[in-house]
Amino acid sequence: MTTALEKVNGTARGADEPRFDPVALAEAAAIRARTEAEAEAARLKAEAETDAIRAKAAEEAERQRIANERARMRLEREQADHDAKIAESARKREESERATRAAREKEDAQQQAQAEEAGKRVKSAQSWRKAALGFAIVCAIVALPVQMSAFFDRDALWLLAAPAVLEGGAWVVLRGAAAAVDDHRPHWHYRLIAWSLAFIAAGINLWHGLHAFDPATALGTAFASIAGPGVWDLHEHGRIRVRDGKETWRERRRRTAAEKAAAKEKAAKEKAAADARQAAAEQLATERAEQFPDEWKWALRIAAAVGETTVTEDVWIRAWDELHATKPGETVDQIRRRNAAARRVAMARSEASGNTPSKVPNAQRAPQMPNAAKKRVYNPPARPGRRTKGDTPKYVNAARKQAAITAKQAATGSH
């Protein structure tokens, strides 16, 4: 309750003069100060929020600018890759077209060359045939007079047909040989008869020429009797070889040289491969002797016992199996280290949170403790001293914890 003051500094206060409460004034000042402080705090908070929003907006703008820059760079890179792919595709297409065009031009050139060569062969064959036929006619003209002189008899003029029979018979038989060649029939007997007739005519010309004329006439007419059919037979012989596809002497020589070179190259490759295999085998034997001296000595003994000059792969596998009872490369120590590592890995996996502990393989055949669902019933063994499955009583909590610690230390190898 506030008491009104009747006097202030010894002077009576008027009835209408306002009264002041110091406590109220103090409270008002406190409220005003608190309001100003709250307003200042709100202003500072608003400024801080504004600055934070501005900084966040600037950061977001910078992030967006970086994202846009990355997107632009990615787009430019993709565009460059696309342009490069298009250029590469165009280059490959141009190269393919150029290669196709070159191959087509080469094929056309080869076909043209083959056609020209075939035309040359046909022209050469026709020229050779005409020349052989003309030469044969000239030889017949040269040889016939001497033969007709040899068979001339005023009382037997019909003998003048004999030279025509000899010379013409040879040509008739040669035409039969040509027909046999065209029909792919045997032709050797035709050619044999033609040569026989030619030699008979040559013998007559030689004998009569020596007796009635001079040696030059005899030899010339005898040669003409043989040369005419002989040149034509050479023409037919060439046709036969072309028909049968027989090689010329140069072709046979080139083929023989190529076969010898190929055989020599093959022998060199086989020798190089054999040398490489021998070197690899020697290197392997050296490494095995250095890395596994005991096993190598045992393998040498087995090789000597079975009659092998070297340690073959079968001998090495047998020696390793006899010493270690496993495949080559494995030993008892390695198997133990691998099993210990497997136990450590299993223990490490069981320690991970959220994973079900996995059981470490052990050498016991029966579980140490019975299943929780199985009710323990005392059942004495049939034979004293023999353990049965489930006869071990449950451990107390302390024993179970200590067993877990011991198992963990055994798995990790720590003490």
Q: For 79-90, how does the pLDDT look when each residue is reduced to its tens digit (9 = 90+)? A: 888 888 898 888
- pLDDT at 3 > cutoff 70: no
**Do 73 and 81 meet the contact criterion of CB atoms below 8 Å apart?**
no
Using CA atoms of 124, 129, 132, 137 in order, give the dihedral in degrees to the nearest 10: -140
Taking residue 170's Cβ as centre, other Cβ atoms within 10 Å add up to: 28
Strand partners, 12: 7
d(Cα 151, Cα 45) in Å, to the nearest integer?
152
Tokens of 81: 């890759």
**3-state SS, residue 12:** strand
Q: Is the dihedral of CA 75, 76, 79, 84 positive or negative?
A: negative
Segments forming the whole domain that contains residue 330: 292-348
d(Cα 9, Cα 165) in Å, to the nearest integer?
190
DSSP conformational letter for 7: E
For 158-192, how does the pLDDT look when each residue is reduced to its tens digit (9 = 90+)? 777 777 777 777 778 877 877 877 777 887 888 78
Q: How confident is the model at residue 266 (pLDDT cuts 50, 70, 90)?
A: very high
Residue 104 counted as domain residue: no
Residue 199 counted as domain residue: no
Task: Report the pLDDT averaged over residues 107-125.
Answer: 83
Strand partners, 8: 11
Give whole-number Cα distances, 30 to 34, 52, 151, 232, 306, in Å.
6, 31, 174, 148, 115
Phi, then psi, of 11 in degrees rounded to 5: -115, 135
Instruction: Please give the model's pTM, rounded to 2 decimal places.
Output: 0.38
Q: What percent of the chain has pLDDT over 70?
A: 81
d(Cα 190, Cα 178) in Å, to the nearest integer?
9
| Number of structural domains found in the chain | 1
Residue 339 counted as domain residue: yes
Residue 371 counted as domain residue: no
- pLDDT at 282 > cutoff 70: yes
Residue 335 counted as domain residue: yes
Residue 303 counted as domain residue: yes
- Residue at 8: amino acid letter: V
**According to the model, what pLDDT value does residue 365 have?**
47
For 322-367, how does the pLDDT look when each residue is reduced to its tens digit (9 = 90+)? 888 888 888 888 889 989 999 999 888 886 555 554 554 554 444 5
Task: Report the pLDDT averaged over residues 124-137.
Answer: 80
Tokens of 259: 């076969």
Residue 344 counted as domain residue: yes
Task: Report the pLDDT averaged over residues 131-151.
Answer: 81
d(Cα 204, Cα 170) in Å, to the nearest integer?
15
What is the residue-averaged pLDDT of the chain?
79
Closest CA to 288 of 275, 273, 303, 274: 303
Residue corresponding to tokens 């006869």: 391
**According to the model, what pLDDT value does residue 11 have?**
53
Question: DSSP of 291-339, one letter per residue?
Answer: H-HHHHHHHHHHHHHHT-SS--HHHHHHHHHHHHSS-TT--HHHHHHHH
Residue 153 counted as domain residue: no
Question: DSSP of 73-111, one letter per residue?
Answer: HHHHHHHHHHHHHHHHHHHHHHHHHHHHHHHHHHHHHHH
**Do 143 and 221 meet the contact criterion of CB atoms below 8 Å apart?**
yes
**3-state SS, residue 335:** helix
d(Cα 234, Cα 405) in Å, to the nearest integer?
109
